[in-house]
Amino acid sequence: MIRGILILAFTLILNAYASAQLFQAPTRLTFANVNVKLDAGAQQIVQTDVYALLSNRTTLNTRLDRASLYFPIVENILSEEKVPNDFKYLVLQESGLAPDAVSTSNAVGFWQFKKETATDYGLRVDDEIDERKNIHASTRAAANYLKKNNTALNNWISTLYSYYLGLGGVRSLVPTEWNGANEITLTDKTDRYILRCLAHKLVYENELRGYRTSQTPFYEYKASGGKTFTQIADQLGVDEVELRRYNRWVGGSKIPQDRPYTMLVVVDNNRPAALASNQSAPPVAVSQTTTPSANRTATAAAARKAKAREPEFPVLKRITPPSNRASSGPVYYQINGRDGILAQDGDTYETIAKRADIRAGRFLSINDMEEDDKIVGGKVYYIQKKAKSAPVEFHTLQHGETAWDVSQMYGIRLSFLLRKNRIASATEPLQPGRVLWMKKRRPCKTAIEVVPLPEPEKAKEETPILAETPVTTSTPPVTTPATDVAVTVPTTPTQPQTNSGRVVLVDENGQVVSGNPSATRPVQPSTSQPVRTEPTRTQPEVVSRPVTNPNKFPTTPGEEDAPVTPRQPAVRTEAASESYHTVESGETFYAIARKYNMKPDELLELNGLKSYPLLKKGEKVLVKGTPVTNPIRVEETAVAPVREATPSSESKPAYHVVKSGETFFAIARKYNMKPEELRDLNGLQAFPQVNVGDRYVLRAGAARPATSSIPANTTTGEWRYHTVQQGETMFSIARQYDIKVDQIRSWNNMSGTDMIRTGQRLKIKNK
């Protein structure tokens, strides 16, 4: 049996490698009506990117399915705006066609727009609507930006580059002979962003020929303002979950009335009667790339669906009819063959449990969740115990996935998933590419298998630079693209730096595919780096050509140590009152802000930062005004924390050392801090699973926790005694010791209705 599995795995890997080997990057190709010649160095770089794109068939198929759905819409808009059709591959490179893609610099959506630039190009971005996630609106805005830049550059390859660095950033980098040229030559010195886009075109253009997708095409519905998702779903006779899934640009539950909006509705063979009564056939857009005939219809797509590949997980089947429920009533689903319920906007675990008519604690236990975990509206949660095994033999862990994500995806209890893979705890970090056993337990003599995955897509960091020689530039449409692009500037290269930026990608099922948002620190650039403009709506930016050492203050390395030569953003116009503050030992970002009577957000904006950095002695921070002799301090209570290091003052940093049973959110609450603030202050990429002994920096002046007389945990012979801390639940304690809640109740003679209280001592049997 094991031999057969190994042979099958080897065969699959060999086939993937063979397909990559058979696809060779050419020496010549055409992009956006420009003939491109690749020298040996450029050809090798493109070939490397081709291998990476073909190496993971699962990811490739997912993106091919998305391209089959979205390319018809993108192609139509690009054609209307008279932008070359090849730019549809750019949106694949930017976001993977994931509407929820977010970069570390808060560039969002299909085309990775920042909020300021999006509003400049007519997109609505607020709590109610975010048109960056709308394929129609964002594609039209991107097309307008590309047209504007091409008018100035007169070359579509230069225009492609400008989408990365901005118009001002590329003017001095692209060769003058490119202006108006119909043929250009690219070398290994050409920016990787351009070469990677060419690799995307080569791979997806080839793969989409004759590709049979299981996805059904979209019907583009002109939404009526003022209607809710429920009303539209009932009117069209479609699934509300599917309607929300493809229209995430709507922040609430109602479509606004300020302008016409187009919604995407999935059409299958049994199309809604409401659509059929209005027109003989829904206007389904058909991709020029994926279909040999322009007359392919939704019926043909439905016929192909019968030949679909393996089903995607989780498998959802709606039980509650769309027209037979109140808007506030429960919506039941079958999820992987188990009973489930649809979460609504604003739900907590108590409200969704009440609507499902089960106890809140049981809801958490069934879903392997804790009280701090957030309920996401529009997702289906289990209300029936999950299975002991999954319907598939194996699952390859993707970037950003956790054991809990996999357990929810396949409907397998988390404890059983951990046991099958001999994983000690759900907090244990797992390597992306690890093959998880889903039905049987991995034999102890069988080594852990890790399948190579393509590098997670990363975004470039943005860093402030000092203006010396003002140059007026135009505003770029986007900032950091959602791809892993190593910048090789056509001028003199600089020393590589470690970059921790990475895009957070979310697939159509709402699961995080990869994520690594990180804090940055000021970096002084070199003369050879391009200047990146930061978008503004009121006046042009002022940029410079600095001459200082680029490695004086390096960025903090993240979990990915890929050396890159970072591009530089544009800077602000320096005011006469601005100066630099040299960081002293123990100073924090908040302390410096108070010292100069500034708000932390104001200091962030002044330095071009997006999150609160960790500072080191000797670093320079741009400030306004003069230091205040006696800055205002946050009042602190006189008592010290029970289990933590001494809280901070402005001259001495404060730390919290993680103890048994604590969570990241509990630590933030203890010191009256927001979880996001604690995360950014420590330069973390996401909310971590804390481990005993970890040390976290606290905000200067953070309120101290109240004094506690709760005794510490103790161990005596066969038993250990756990003292319940504030915020702990029976479920979190069980997960901490990798045991079951029922075992704790049995050892302590507790019934199912007994509640634990802070300070209570629980017997835990030693393993």
Predicted pLDDT of residue 558: 37
Contacts of 674 (CB under 8 A, 6+ apart): 668
Q: Is there a contact between 515 and 438 (Cβ–Cβ < 8 Å)?
A: no
Predicted pLDDT of residue 315: 86
Contacts of 588 (CB under 8 A, 6+ apart): 615, 648, 650, 653, 681, 697, 699, 700
Residue 514's DSSP bridge partners are: 505
Contacts 24+ apart (CB under 8 A), 317-321: 318/239, 318/241
In this prediction the pTM is 0.42
Predicted pLDDT of residue 386: 94
Please spell the DSSP secondary structure of 44-105, one letter per residue: HHHHHHHHHHHS-HHHHHHHHHHHHHHHHHHHHHHHHTT--GGGHHHHHHHHTT-TT-B-TT
Altogether, the residues listed in the chain come to a count of: 767
The burial of 318, by beta-carbon neighbours within 10 Å (0-12 exposed, 13-18 middle, 19 or more buried), is given as: middle
Given a cut of 70, the residues of the chain with pLDDT beneath it are: 1-22, 223-224, 267-312, 322-328, 455-578, 585-586, 610-614, 628-653, 660-661, 685-686, 700-717, 726-727, 752-754
Predicted pLDDT of residue 741: 82
Predicted pLDDT of residue 290: 40
Q: Name the 3-class secondary structure at 220.
A: strand
Q: Is there a contact between 264 and 139 (Cβ–Cβ < 8 Å)?
A: no
**Separation of alpha carbons 26 and 6, rounded Å:** 35
Contacts 24+ apart (CB under 8 A), 334-338: 335/380, 335/382, 335/411, 336/386, 336/387, 336/391, 336/410, 336/411, 337/387, 337/411, 338/382, 338/384, 338/385, 338/386, 338/387, 338/411
Give, in order, the Cα–Cα distances in Å from 328 to each of 244, 320, 342, 345, 554. Answer: 16, 13, 11, 11, 53
Q: Is there a contact between 490 and 567 (Cβ–Cβ < 8 Å)?
A: no
- Taking alpha carbons only, the member of 145, 201, 144, 152 closest to residue 174 is 152
**Separation of alpha carbons 331 and 340, rounded Å:** 9
Contacts of 272 (CB under 8 A, 6+ apart): 236, 237, 238
What is the DSSP pairing of strand 332-335 with strand 338-342?
antiparallel
What is the DSSP pairing of strand 531-532 with strand 338-342?
unpaired
**Separation of alpha carbons 741 and 732, rounded Å:** 9
Single-letter residue type at 593: A
CATH top class, domain 714-765: alpha beta
Q: Is there a contact between 512 and 405 (Cβ–Cβ < 8 Å)?
A: yes
Q: Is there a contact between 45 and 186 (Cβ–Cβ < 8 Å)?
A: no
Predicted pLDDT of residue 735: 75
**Tens of pLDDT, residues 624-657:** 877 765 443 333 333 334 444 344 334 445 778 8
Domain parsing of the chain, residue ranges: 714-765
